Amino acid sequence: MIPQIIGLPHATSSLFREARLEDLDAVGDLLKALGYNVPRDRLEPVYSRLMKDPTYRCILAVSHPEGRAIGMITVRRLPCLRLAGEQVSIEELVVRPEWRGRGVGRALTAQAVAYAVSCRAVRVEVLTSEDRESTQRGFYEKAGFRRARSRVYRVDLTTQQASGLAFQHTAFHTTVEDLS
């Protein structure tokens, strides 16, 4: 478990703490800074559910003494058969533009790794866009991550992309015989 508040030595006047339900608007603002403008009415039910999920953590970097959320990292822990252990995935990492370059992102990433160690995870993974400024300047490599030789494939079920897929309306089959 991540302690509630941890001092941030590399950044000026900020603290870490786990997000709470009342941080919804701050989390929404941080998602906007990351490029995701999620309407509050869509964000709220997902955020509320995640706050109750024991495999999920949302850690905020908060300016002191103002108490303003200046950065956020979200992580999810899941068991993986192929690893014979647990993996922690960094889902979102964002620092407000005016706070970038002060060590906040690196310190948030270190929090995710410390959480993974405390869970005895065998790997920490992050998926990021090749086009992101942080990727372009080697942020994750500088934080100790190695580039993986993997590809990500997606089906976006919120767009028309999914409409032509054969499995869209197919019922879930429980046995091989059901498929014939």
Tens of pLDDT, residue by residue over 3-19, are 333 444 444 456 999 99
- pLDDT of 166 > 90? The answer is no
How far apart (Å, rounded) are the C-alpha atoms in residues 134 and 146?
14
127 and 152 in contact (C-beta within 8 Å)? yes
- Residue 130 gets which letter from DSSP? T
Within 10 angstroms of residue 99's Cβ, the number of other Cβ atoms is 19
Name the pairing type of β-strands 69-80 and 56-63.
antiparallel
Q: Which SS3 state, helix, strand or coil, does residue 136 take?
A: helix
Mean pLDDT of the chain: 84
pLDDT of residue 115: 95
pLDDT of residue 10: 45
Between these two residues, 27 and 165, which has the higher pLDDT value?
Answer: 27
Lowest mean pLDDT among 7-16, 94-103, 112-121, 126-135: 7-16
How far apart (Å, rounded) are the C-alpha atoms in residues 78 and 145?
19
DSSP-H helix ranges across 22-86: 24-34, 40-51
- Residues across the chain: 180
Give per-residue pLDDT as tens, 47-83.
999 999 999 999 999 998 888 999 999 999 999 999 9
Instruction: Enumerate domains of the chain plus CATH numbers.
Output: 6-169 (3.40.630.30)
